Structure 1
């Protein structure tokens, strides 16, 4: 598990070239800012890397990671997620949230009844979607993360209030 004070900001898609360059996918709102949040850590915190972006490539960036100097070393990092220390990330406005802060939060309806727990947050280009795991259901609820559907996110109280549209519940 990543440390609670770190947020996933990207992943390594594999080697790019023969000199240790990697193909880096950024999960940041400003994709190029990933290099400014370093050092970036592996999920278990056992390794850290300084990042230097080298060029845009299909689906991300070519990047050099400190300590990675061969194609083999870069290939060995394929699929590794990279985490930044939370205090290196910008503060967000009140109506924006890091996905890591939403995952695991309990969800209740507007009357206070428990619905389930946020298991994941997806974005396939049309906006964020909360995957809510509800005990006793055969499948998760996939709820568009809009103000109409999710009127309240209270990180301090550790809860989300959702108004699930008919047909999704």
Structure 2
């Protein structure tokens, strides 16, 4: 009962201030003040104030708020630990699964197709380059070193 009376008094005082502001020909500010002053009255009429007062003095409600706070703290703690330990989160797992599904159709297609050159140069001398790489296919760690660097940069 006291909370409802207090809210009604705040609304009446706010409407009085809005009237004085309108008298000074500051209509936009007066309308804004009137809107703010009608909020407590609306809360009283909807019963929200009575509910809030009943909740504020209810031990069961405070226990419920404590349980909700504990759940929030657990969520925040597990997220912080997940970020620090490098455990992949939901986004990283989805990206890894999508990358695995995409996979290369022909892994050899990404390797350079330069074979060993066996033909002699056009001049007839064999002193020039023989063409291509001499080592054949590149080692697997060479092919993916740039990808590994990107993944390490992003912590994956």
Please state which band the TM-score falls in when normalised by the shorter chain.
Answer: under 0.3
Structure with the larger RCO, 1 or 2 (CA within 8 Å, 6+ apart): 1
Q: Which structure has greater helix proportion?
A: 2
User: Higher Cα Rg: structure 1 or 2?
Assistant: 2
Q: Which structure has greater strand proportion?
A: 1
Tell me the TM-score normalised to structure 1 length: 0.16
Tell me the TM-score normalised to structure 2 length: 0.17
